């Protein structure tokens, strides 16, 4: 028995030793042999990156928006420069003839003159190249990027005298060219990749033979360029050269048999109509705000106007470093993407959503009337309203934009006993309103979309005390004020919901991508809780608001002779200046082709500026031009300067 135990113990020990030996052997192979092999390969070969051209971007009608023409840069092999300097220093110590020394001297002053930079800039760039904190993949034997995006003139001048500069070479790649001075925020821009980006992609794509990015590469940093970076960037290729022991690069390895060809980025077709986009930017010049246009049947974004704006080409190449700080310091924030990122109280445009909810919750029907005494008055509490006939039914309450009607309707909902208490009633209201796309990001396929804000009961508990708030405390949300905020794209989406009689397709900017189908996320319908039949009285009111036919209208200025526009004005209170002018609309009334929302900051009533701009945008899109009898109105809007006296 004891002998058997000893044998078993011996076998176990031998087994453990064998396992340990295998693990140690594997570790040695991984840590030493493999690393030595990689290092040997690195010393024996030089890989020259062949940059893939970035994908081309078109608008919905096939007009090219962004292309990738070839550009040239300068690379420097630091070891060759250092070796040259050492040779010169040696000759000087040996008192060699001056003329024999001069032919080896690297003429920094001449190089800087040829490529149009200062000597200080050259020295700074050379130091940055050799700083491993900024350039973790630095090697003195490998060409490093010194200057990007040379002009053709600079390249031609350098070509003639390149033989004088040992260690300097010219590289070829592509840049971005913008064919229109429009849609800067939507298209976005590219910039040099950061160290953080390099580390991020290295960790994601560890097994790829060629690194995704290295210092000096470009990456999408905003707009479509960022959102669709993976599709646009393409895959770089490589030429593999033999390297001698002293680091000198010789002929191609295997006569180029192992070279890797670059694969260009994919072509994108956007939903934007660049002509409509340009027209919107023209109308919004010298104004602060945004315009969002959507095709209701598809959710396609026809225009995304952010004002003030800028020509996207000024952020390309070497001029980017000069122009970006200027845009960043501009007090009116031209870099701010207002259609997606700005949020405002929706004002009276929100009434159409509330009207639909009141109908759905069976608080009102199209014939329900509420009185208005130049406002909604309860004791000493008053919400003002302009003079109009009273009482009004639902369609006329919208065409007249009656504040009292919607205050009364909201209180009738919140105080209705069928919900049990006000908290339950409010939760029902919130569930309904978020089905329109409010309070959350819509999921637009662009970066940095804001969500706006729809409060919950906890917000009011904090403001008024738990279970201590009443319907009168929050009645301002009935007219789009109070705690509610929305983004311009959410307002345009509301117009699309009404145009579609109850559903919306997620707004998106990508129409087609080369070789791929559009994600169903951007093609599926999202239904509101409101039944289709309840939309007709609201649409009737929006038609009357623009075209007349009811007891009054608030947006006659937006009327077109041969197109029925359905719209709703809004005036959003602004505690830091003049009120914001807002308008949402869709057209035609039947089989709508465009839904639109506009915010003109600090411009006053919605009918004053927002409504006529929207009508011009609709006319331009549906008819292709502006009628002669409307040219004066167009001229007045284009020439109007509504810039606030100061930025907030």
pLDDT in tens, 194-234: 888 888 887 777 666 556 787 778 899 999 999 999 999 98
Superfamily of domain 274-320+333-639: DD-peptidase/beta-lactamase superfamily (3.40.710.10)
Q: What pTM was estimated for this model as a whole?
A: 0.84
Rounded Cα–Cα distance for residues 264 and 258 (Å): 19
Q: Give the confidence band of 259 by pLDDT, cuts at 50, 70, 90.
A: confident
Quick one: tokens of 441? 């990001």
Q: Does domain 45-69+175-236+259-270 have CATH number 3.90.1310.10?
A: yes
In the predicted model, what is the mean pLDDT of residues 183-196? Answer: 92
Pairing mode of beta strands 381-384, 375-378: antiparallel
The structure tokens listed for 468 are: 């201590």
Local confidence band at 163 (pLDDT 50, 70, 90 cut-offs):
confident
Give the orientation angle of helix 610-623 with respect to helix 274-283, to 10 degrees: 150
CA distance 238 to 457: 60
- Range of lowest pLDDT (127-136, 324-333, 353-362, 541-550): 127-136
Looking at the DSSP bridge assignments, the partners of residue 34 are none
- Tell me the pLDDT band of 185, cut-offs 50, 70 and 90: very high
3-state secondary structure of 52: coil
Q: What average pLDDT score do residues 274-279 get? A: 98
* 40 pLDDT more than 60: no
517-527: average pLDDT: 94
Reading the block at residue 384, the tokens are 């003002």
What average pLDDT does the chain have?
A: 88
| Cα separations in angstroms, 548 against 362, 406, 602 | 28, 21, 27
410-428 pLDDT, tens digit each:
999 999 999 999 999 999 9
Q: How far are the Cα atoms of 150, 210, 342, 489 from residue 449, in angstroms, in the given order? A: 35, 33, 9, 9
Q: What percent of the chain has pLDDT over 90?
A: 60
**Domain residue ranges in the chain:** 45-69+175-236+259-270, 70-174, 274-320+333-639
Please tell me which residue, 174 or 333, carries the higher pLDDT value.
333
pLDDT at 374: 93
32 φ, ψ to 5°?
-110, -65
Q: Which residues contact 169 (CB under 8 A, 6 or more apart)?
A: 74, 75, 76, 77, 143, 162
The per-residue pLDDT for range 381-400, each reduced to its tens digit, is: 999 999 899 999 999 999 99
Token pair 């002053």 in the structure block, residue? 109
Q: Which residue has the higher pLDDT, 580 or 173?
A: 580
Could you tell me the end-to-end alpha-carbon distance of the chain, in angstroms, rounded to an integer? 92
Neighbours of 116 (CB within 10 A): 15
pLDDT tens digits along 566-621: 999 999 888 778 899 999 999 999 999 999 999 999 988 878 999 999 999 999 99
pLDDT (0 to 100) of residue 146: 85
Q: What is the pLDDT of residue 400?
A: 96
In a 13 Å sphere around the CA of 9, the CA atoms on its Cβ side amount to 6
If 0-12 CB within 10 Å is exposed, 13-18 middle and 19+ buried, where does residue 150 land? buried
């Amino acid at each position: 028995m004891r002998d058997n135990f000893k044998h078993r113990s011996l076998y176990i020990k031998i087994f453990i030793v064998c396992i340990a030996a295998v693990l140690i052997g594997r570790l040695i192979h991984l840590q030493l042999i493999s690393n030595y092999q990689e290092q040997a390969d690195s010393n024996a070969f030089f890989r020259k990156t062949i940059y893939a051209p970035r994908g081309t971007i078109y608008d919905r009608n096939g007009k090219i928006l962004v292309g990738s023409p070839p550009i040239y840069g300068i690379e420097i092999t630091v070891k060759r420069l250092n070796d040259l300097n050492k040779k010169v220093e040696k000759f000087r110590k040996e008192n060699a003839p001056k003329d024999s020394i001069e032919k080896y001297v690297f003429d920094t002053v001449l190089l800087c003159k040829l490529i149009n930079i200062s000597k200080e800039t050259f020295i700074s760039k050379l130091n940055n190249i050799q700083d491993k904190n900024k350039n973790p993949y630095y090697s003195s034997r490998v060409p490093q990027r010194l200057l990007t995006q040379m002009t053709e003139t600079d390249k031609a001048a350098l070509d003639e005298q390149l033989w004088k500069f040992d260690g300097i070479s010219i590289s070829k790649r592509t840049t971005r060219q913008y064919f229109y001075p429009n849609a800067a925020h939507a298209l976005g821009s590219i910039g040099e990749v950061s160290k953080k980006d390099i580390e991020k992609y290295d960790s994601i794509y560890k097994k790829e033979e060629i690194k995704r990015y290295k210092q000096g590469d470009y990456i999408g940093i905003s707009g479509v360029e960022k959102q669709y970076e993976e599709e646009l960037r393409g895959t770089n290729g490589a030429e593999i050269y033999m390297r001698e022991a002293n680091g000198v690069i010789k002929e191609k390895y295997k006569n180029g048999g192992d070279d890797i060809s670059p694969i260009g980025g994919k072509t994108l077709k956007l939903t934007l109509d660049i002509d409509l986009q340009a027209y919107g930017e023209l109308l919004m010049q010298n104004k602060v705000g945004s315009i969002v246009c959507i095709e209701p049947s598809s959710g396609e974004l026809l225009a995304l106007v952010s004002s003030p704006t800028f020509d996207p080409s000024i952020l390309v190449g070497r001029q980017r470093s000069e122009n970006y700080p200027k845009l960043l310091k501009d007090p009116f924030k031209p870099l701010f993407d207002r259609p997606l990122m700005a949020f405002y109280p929706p004002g009276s445009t929100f009434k159409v959503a509330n009207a639909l909810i009141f109908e759905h919750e069976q608080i009102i029907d199209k014939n329900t009337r509420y009185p208005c005494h130049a406002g909604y008055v309860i004791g000493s509490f008053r919400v003002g309203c302009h003079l109009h006939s009273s009482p009004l039914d639902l369609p006329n309450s919208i065409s007249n934009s009656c504040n009292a009607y919607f205050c009364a309707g909201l209180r009738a909902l919140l105080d209705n006993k069928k919900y049990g208490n006000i908290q339950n009633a409010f939760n029902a209201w919130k569930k309904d309103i978020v089905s329109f796309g409010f309070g959350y990001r819509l999921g637009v396929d662009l970066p940095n979309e804001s969500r706006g804000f729809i409060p919950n009961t906890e917000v009011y508990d904090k403001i008024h005390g738990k279970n201590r708030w009443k319907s009168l405390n929050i009645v301002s949300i009935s007219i789009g004020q109070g705690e509610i905020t929305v983004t311009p794209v959410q307002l345009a989406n509301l117009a699309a919901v009404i145009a579609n009689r109850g559903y919306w397709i997620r707004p998106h900017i990508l129409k087609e991508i080369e070789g791929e189908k559009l994600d169903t996320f951007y093609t599926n319908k999202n239904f509101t809780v409101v039944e289709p039949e309840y939309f007709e009285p609201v649409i009737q009111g929006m038609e009357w608001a623009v075209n007349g036919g009811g007891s009054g209208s608030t947006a006659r200025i937006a009327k077109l002779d041969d197109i029925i526009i359905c719209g709703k004005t809004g005036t959003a209170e602004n505690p830091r200046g003049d009120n914001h002018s807002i308008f949402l609309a869709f057209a035609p009334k039947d089989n709508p082709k465009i839904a639109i929302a506009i915010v003109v900051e600090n411009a006053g009533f919605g009918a004053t500026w927002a409504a006529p701009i929207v009508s011009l945008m609709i006319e331009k899109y549906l008819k292709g031009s502006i009628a002669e009898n409307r040219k004066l109105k167009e001229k007045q809007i284009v020439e109007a300067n509504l810039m606030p006296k100061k930025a907030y």
